[in-house]
Structure 1
Amino acid sequence: MMESKHIDESNEKKQDDETQQELPLDQYFASIGIHDDSPEQQKENELPSGKESKEPSALRRVFNFVLTVVICFVIAFLITRFVIRRNTVKGTSMVPTLYHLDEIFVEKISRLFAGGLKRYDIVTADTNRKASDGEEMIIIKRVIGLPGERVQIENGHVYINDRQLEEPYLPESVRTYPHNPDYASVLLGENEFYLLGDNRENSQDSRDIGAVSRDDIEGKLLIRFYPFSRFGVPD
């Protein structure tokens, strides 16, 4: 009887060993007090549950979207305030170069530097006056006289420092006459420009308001983008 009991105990021990060997290694080591402390295992143990991992991700997406929208608005504001601006031509003072309701872009960088504005450039300027509808009166004209020059209007022509100005963008039949005698002959200051409309018979310009300061010039014509049939940079 004693021998039979010994055999049974051996069989039970053998079965226990086989059961332990059938366990996965990580569970087996854990059952005997040995744990896997590798970085991979620690990282796996630290992973949040499925629900917890999704919530921060959704919040992060919302935050990124809002941040992107804010950045876009700031960039758009800075560009339109300091770099480029859209304008609508109102009136016919620049015909045949620009027409009523033409849509244009003007850049606002050149005006900041000496030499940035050249003769024949088309610019927009604030006249410090109000239009008939009460809105700020912005004019679009062509640069004729530059700082330090003397501009004279005589006999239907424009003279710069006593030399007749060539104006190839105008029909040959066009003549230029003064409006206000006080501005028929002007010596321009250091930061002053003499501006004229291409439609000389129907334009309020420096012949009416005198020289325009650099500070009052808002931008230089970059391109006309509408109507598409006249898309491009006017001469």
Structure 2
Amino acid sequence: MAKKSQTWEWIKAIVIAVGLAAVIRYFFFAPILVDGVSMMPTLQDRDRMIVSKIGYRIGEPQRFDIIVFKATEDKDYIKRVIGLPGDRIEYKNDVLYVNGKAYEEPYLNDYKKQTTDGPLTYDFKLEEVTGQQTVPKGQLFVLGDNRRFSKDSRTIGTISMGQVIGKTNIVYWPLSDARIIKKP
């Protein structure tokens, strides 16, 4: 009888542990694998990160947050928030302008120095790439840090807040590159 009781206790403990892990992963945190070079040099292909799913249930995205969103039914993208609802976005001479004000993007400085054959980010206005003068309400304008090789809001348009899975800034693998990515 004691053997049966002990087995039952182990089964309950395992079921509770699996249930707790599922709840944490579904509602709070989840791992994600960086797939591709669109966020270089900030993120490398095959970096593994933690996505916080609770951040935007409490607050709103901020400019320069790195987010994960549902791009297609079976594909998630990792990009940087550049434009918030109501913003007018423009790039001119490799400089970001939001509502007419120039913004520095220090996370791109090293990459810009390496780029000798023209700007890292080609000139454009939000209206030219999305047909909108401002980022619509409930939408975000996102870009990859590797501006020349990123499928982002310049091609897929703005993304809705409903597509956003969460915010990410913790690289946990490879262990030698583990770090917290600070926002500028």
TM-score of the superposition, structure 2-length normalised? 0.85
Larger Rg: 1
Partner of 1:145: 83
RMSD across aligned positions (CA):
2.1
Partner of 1:32: none
Aligned match for 1:118, one of 45, 52, 62? 62
1:31-110 superposed matches below 5 A = 55=1, 57-110=2-55
Deviation at 1:234, TM superposition (A): 2.2
Deviation at 1:185, TM superposition (A): 6.0
Partner of 1:226: 173
> Any stretches of 5+ residues in structure 1 without a counterpart?
1-54, 130-135
CA distance in 1, matches of 2:78, 2:154: 14
Contact kept? 2:29, 2:53, Cα under 8 Å: yes
TM-score of the superposition, structure 1-length normalised? 0.68
CA distance in 2, matches of 1:102, 1:179: 32
* 1:146–1:221 Cα change, 3 Å: same
Contact kept? 2:84, 2:141, Cα under 8 Å: yes
Deviation at 1:186, TM superposition (A): 4.3
Which deviations, in whole Å up to 9, do the C-alpha atoms of 1:180-231 show, x marking residues without a partner?
Answer: 9333864122321111111111111111111111110111114101111211
* 1:179–1:87 Cα change, 3 Å: farther
User: More helix per residue: 1 or 2?
Assistant: 1
CA distance in 2, matches of 1:153, 1:184: 16
Report 1 or 2 for greater relative contact order, CA contacts < 8 Å, sequence distance ≥ 6. Answer: 2
Deviation at 1:161, TM superposition (A): 0.7
Secondary structure, counterpart of 1:169 in structure 2: helix
Partner of 1:127: 71
> Any stretches of 5+ residues in structure 2 without a counterpart?
114-118
Contact kept? 2:95, 2:104, Cα under 8 Å: no
* 1:186–1:114 Cα change, 3 Å: farther
Identity %, equivalent residues: 32
Q: Give the letter for the 1:89 counterpart.
A: V
Q: How many residues align?
A: 173
Q: Give the letter for the 1:105 counterpart.
A: I
Deviation at 1:150, TM superposition (A): 1.8
Aligned match for 2:135, one of 184, 188, 192? 188
